Structure 1
């Protein structure tokens, strides 16, 4: 995998987790709304590399404990992808400085 592939894969992971956090926020905000269908986010691999978030309503009710757990998981995943992105960018800068020398 190329450095640009590494960074684009990490970026897609960060985008997917951002989508996931948005769905969680909707669930929390609408938890007491009658008839509200909880949103679930599924992550799927894409052929070009990376991941895509797909949000769909479910039949289950909103459970605050589940939403909090999902939020913590999404935050940790976002942070991990950010570290991978930064590492890829640092590698790119290092290669460019070697090339200039």
Structure 2
């Protein structure tokens, strides 16, 4: 796997978690709205590598405690993907420095 491939996979993870965080924020903001259908984010792997997020309404009620737990989980997943992306960028920079020397 190439450095750019690893970076693209990490980037897709960050995008998916951003989508997930948006759905969670929408759920919490509308938790007291009558007849609001909670948004559920499902993550699926992509054949070329990475992950894709899909947001679908569900019939279940919004629980702010569950939303907070999901938000913490999404934050940690985003941070993990960001570390992988930064490491790939550092490796790319190191390779460019070696090539120049």
Residue equivalent to 1:58: 58
Alignment of 1:25-64 (within 5 A): 25-64=25-64
Gaps of 5+ in 1: none
Describe the superposition over 1:26-83 as per-residue Cα deviations: whole angstroms up to 9, x where unpaired.
1001000110000000100111111000100111100011000000000000000000
Please give the alpha-carbon distance, in whole angstroms, between the structure 2 residues aligned to 1:47 and 1:89: 23
- 3-state DSSP of counterpart to 2:55: strand
Normalised by the length of structure 1, the TM-score is 0.98
Residue equivalent to 2:96: 96
- 3-state DSSP of counterpart to 2:97: helix
Normalised by the length of structure 2, the TM-score is 0.98
- 3-state DSSP of counterpart to 1:93: helix
Ranges of 4+ aligned residues in structure 1 off by more than 4 Å: none
Please give the alpha-carbon distance, in whole angstroms, between the structure 2 residues aligned to 1:76 and 1:37: 26
Gaps of 5+ in 2: none
Q: RMSD across aligned C-alpha pairs, in angstroms? A: 0.5
